[in-house]
Structure 1
């Protein structure tokens, strides 16, 4: 059983990742940290609260994360990919209003629980704040999994930068510089984690869980957006879900141990760099970059977790 704190900014792929985490019997969600990113923090919070209500898991605290990047700039949102409210065509009912728990509650959760994994599938601002504001707190975390970066492959917001690292490269550089037992899931593998509408409909035939019932509307919107970005694609990559799936099933991917640096200014801002030359040495810290993915294993895991979910508990 993995005890996780999930940092997210839902967003469609973040929302599906939250569903996956809630439905996976091998994952225990201790808290979800809501931050800006694909949408504003306020909207992300309402989206998380909506998903928790559908799942019957309103006992899970929603922690208030950051509102904007470390630079103080106004965040850029992506409604063309995630919709105005972050869930494609779905708008959480007006009666849903997420109640935020103070950020300081994270330190209490970490102190009270053993063997915690932090999974960050959004901008890294809140995770960097956790580290910088809490003396040695990250040393009490067993491992970190983050979705971010692109190594020797094109970016998805600039020719070389991935959205999470580009959204706050200052925070991301703090994370890759200071944290240990870090596992990075970049576009190299997350772009391959494509799920199709046929697979979504198959899952819906298997489960009557309220979370699963909304997946078709959400994924249709997401896939249509990706078809405009990547002509010929037959589905959409679930960047954030595969990060959780690799955390739960590390044998599903292959990684290499290397130091990471992120450019924080200039035309290459957000670009992630590692030395993959044959003569390069492993990182001194346990920093791992996933570069290969067993795609059939990912699809099998996703269908098993989502399709075997029964109705609301």
Structure 2
């Protein structure tokens, strides 16, 4: 039975790759909607890029709802220095044919989660968690409709990618992440601890290029450009494709391993703002509510990505 899925996203290069992977997997993922949030770039650009990904993925029936244009409390930040000024490096961007769905992403989440059977919908959150946090603040009872929330975010052993200790998606709206964490929804975290092990390489990029279709060309061009800053900054042999790991976990959880932990999000102003603190060794004895992933099969991820991209035009 396919996973009933909503993807909340801020495209972003790796978000586009994740969306294409999801849209190429209809037998396993029943994609109800894509909801967009400001993050890697401003909302109007993340919403356009989500619609571009929908067009490239050949899934015009999937609605795209625009959501929050700024975080709950903090000053907005963006990551154009990584994703380029348009949020989709390496490929030309343009105005897609199909428009946004009418209405707002937060309202869509409230209405949808309030109507579905108990614990039925999975939400893949591959950007700041503002939309779901706003929905939970306005209608906390919608928790009942959520099966699980899978978050690309956080860092513990790895260190941060926007500050020494904070990962970008959590740093962009830590207060929202804390709202979602406090709601009691079942959570899976796909942090930098694992995504920084799921790296591109010359052979993996060649594997994508060898597909010979438009989807392979798009993903190859995006990744060729997107991974350069991380390779240079971290001295890595390849670059991480963070958000694709969330979709890969949904499709092939056996590619990953981790453990349940107690988790905190630091919302205090100061040098640890946005830090995720995972009680990996159970030192506090507090309830372990979050599955925190640590290891993954990088070649398995790229094999899966290529298998699915081959299904697209």
TM-score by length of 1: 0.90
Number of residue pairs matched?
306
Residue 66 of structure 1 is matched in structure 2 by 68
Residue 236 of structure 1 is matched in structure 2 by 239
Contact 1:38 1:82 in 2 (8 A): yes
Unaligned runs of 5+ in 2: none
Residue 40 of structure 2 is matched in structure 1 by 38
Specify whether residues 61 and 268 from structure 1 end up closer, same or farther in structure 2 by C-alpha distance, changes over 3 A only. Answer: same
Contact 1:15 1:48 in 2 (8 A): yes
Residue 48 of structure 1 is matched in structure 2 by 50
Contact 1:2 1:248 in 2 (8 A): no
Residue 304 of structure 2 is matched in structure 1 by 301
Task: For 1:1-313, list aligned pairs within 5 A.
Answer: 1-25=2-26, 26-73=28-75, 75-94=76-95, 96=97, 98-102=99-103, 103=105, 104-111=107-114, 113=116, 115-208=120-213, 210-231=214-235, 233-264=236-267, 265-277=269-281, 279-281=283-285, 283=287, 286-306=289-309, 308-311=310-313
Aligned-residue offset at 1:235: 2.2
Specify whether residues 67 and 97 from structure 1 end up closer, same or farther in structure 2 by C-alpha distance, changes over 3 A only. Answer: farther
Q: 1:289 is paired with a residue of what secondary structure? A: strand
Contact 2:129 2:177 in 1 (8 A): yes
Give me the whole-angstrom Cα distance separating, in 2, the residues matched to 1:44 and 1:20.
18
Specify whether residues 56 and 160 from structure 1 end up closer, same or farther in structure 2 by C-alpha distance, changes over 3 A only. Answer: same
Specify whether residues 200 and 24 from structure 1 end up closer, same or farther in structure 2 by C-alpha distance, changes over 3 A only. Answer: farther
Aligned-residue offset at 1:126: 1.0
Aligned-residue offset at 1:309: 1.3
Give me the whole-angstrom Cα distance separating, in 2, the residues matched to 1:305 and 1:282.
40
User: Over residues 5-58 of structure 1, what are the superposed CA-to-partner deviations in whole Å (9 max), with x where a residue is unaligned?
Assistant: 000001101111111111124222110011100011100111111121222212
Farther off after superposition, 81-90 or 293-302: 293-302
Contact 2:90 2:224 in 1 (8 A): no
Farther off after superposition, 286-295 or 123-132: 286-295
Unaligned runs of 5+ in 1: none
User: Over residues 191-236 of structure 1, what are the superposed CA-to-partner deviations in whole Å (9 max), with x where a residue is unaligned?
Assistant: 111123532332332352x3333122211111222222122x2321
User: Over residues 86-120 of structure 1, what are the superposed CA-to-partner deviations in whole Å (9 max), with x where a residue is unaligned?
Assistant: 11133322465742432322333335555211000
Q: 1:10 is paired with a residue of what secondary structure? A: coil
Give me the whole-angstrom Cα distance separating, in 2, the residues matched to 1:10 and 1:272.
22
User: Over residues 240-272 of structure 1, what are the superposed CA-to-partner deviations in whole Å (9 max), with x where a residue is unaligned?
Assistant: 100111122222222222221111121110111
Contact 1:151 1:273 in 2 (8 A): yes
Contact 1:125 1:171 in 2 (8 A): yes
Give me the whole-angstrom Cα distance separating, in 2, the residues matched to 1:87 and 1:162.
20
Give me the whole-angstrom Cα distance separating, in 1, the residues matched to 2:255 and 2:237.
22
Give me the whole-angstrom Cα distance separating, in 2, the residues matched to 1:164 and 1:201.
29
Specify whether residues 207 and 22 from structure 1 end up closer, same or farther in structure 2 by C-alpha distance, changes over 3 A only. Answer: farther
Give me the whole-angstrom Cα distance separating, in 2, the residues matched to 1:253 and 1:174.
26
Contact 1:254 1:293 in 2 (8 A): yes
